Amino acid sequence: MNTEYEWAVALAAGVGMLAAGAAGYFIGRKCAGETTSDSAILPQTFGAPVITDKLLTPGASHGRTGQKLNAKGVVIHYVANPGSSALANRNYFENGSDGNGTSCHYIVGLQGEILRLIPENERAMHAGRAYGAAWTEQAKTNNSTYLGIEVCHPDKTGKFSAVTYKALIELTADICERHGFNAFNNVKRHYDVTGKLCPLYYVNNPSAWEQMKTDIHNAMSAGVQVPPKETGPSDWAEKSWEWAIENGVTDGTRPRDKATREECASMIYRAMGADKG
């Protein structure tokens, strides 16, 4: 069997798995409904997070230095820009964040959309500045040890909407499952590691923050569907995966993740050489 055929078979299988998984996920969300209370989300309503890649351009000015990260936890932020979308905040980072070169790994949007900006094995510049002497030493190592999640919010209180909150719990539970993190010990507020009043509502309302960690823990205990822990391609796919990287079909990240239809179409487009005219 030639490698091109193996790659085509793998893509076809991925599309089939994606269709089945997407149907099950959205039917589950429809049946479960949404909650309006921070503490009313039942573990069985959680599902696997749906993530869209919107990777930042490599370079310090975009907050993507390329430095390696071996994460020990997650830091939750709020965007502090009421009503702004996940994409708008992503573009703010892409455009240099007013010269600050800041970034994050993920942004959760107002409609529950999740954007991935930086791969989890790279550092993001999200928690390196201390807001008080008590956090000075801690802040020096935050970006080299924590994954960062920015979260959109509808108003100036900084409270996350029900759909945004649910997506955040799913994403954070997924991350904790894959990395072996404890929701109570390894999930932090920006405030906890730098002293900044962020995420504002969950600094001003400690009980809501404790509930969030409990919801993450419960989602993990309920068996949130997560990708396999292996990060490399399967044995049977090694040659075709190497071929795909060498020929510019893929950037080599997320070999075992499901692909969206547009990702599959883009990969086939590149494999056929159509992008070269």
For the chain, the domains span: 3-22+228-276, 40-221
Least confident piece of the model among 92-106, 159-173, 201-215, 238-252:
238-252
Residue 232: the pLDDT is: 66
Mean pLDDT, range 250-263, rounded to an integer:
73
- Give yes or no for residue 4 having a pLDDT over 80: no
Q: What is the pLDDT of residues 169-186, one digit of tens each?
A: 999 999 999 999 999 999
pTM: predicted TM-score of the whole model, two decimal places: 0.66
* CA R_g for the chain: 19
Residue 36: pLDDT band with limits 50, 70, 90:
very low
The distance of Cα 208 from the centroid of its chain, to the nearest Å, equals 22
Q: How confident is the model at residue 38 (pLDDT cuts 50, 70, 90)?
A: very low
- Residue 123 DSSP label: -
Tell the CATH topology of 40-221.
Answer: Lysozyme-like (3.40.80)
Judge contact between 106 and 173, C-beta under 8 A: no
φ, ψ of residue 93 in degrees (nearest 5): -65, -45
Of residues 10 and 75, more confidently modeled: 75
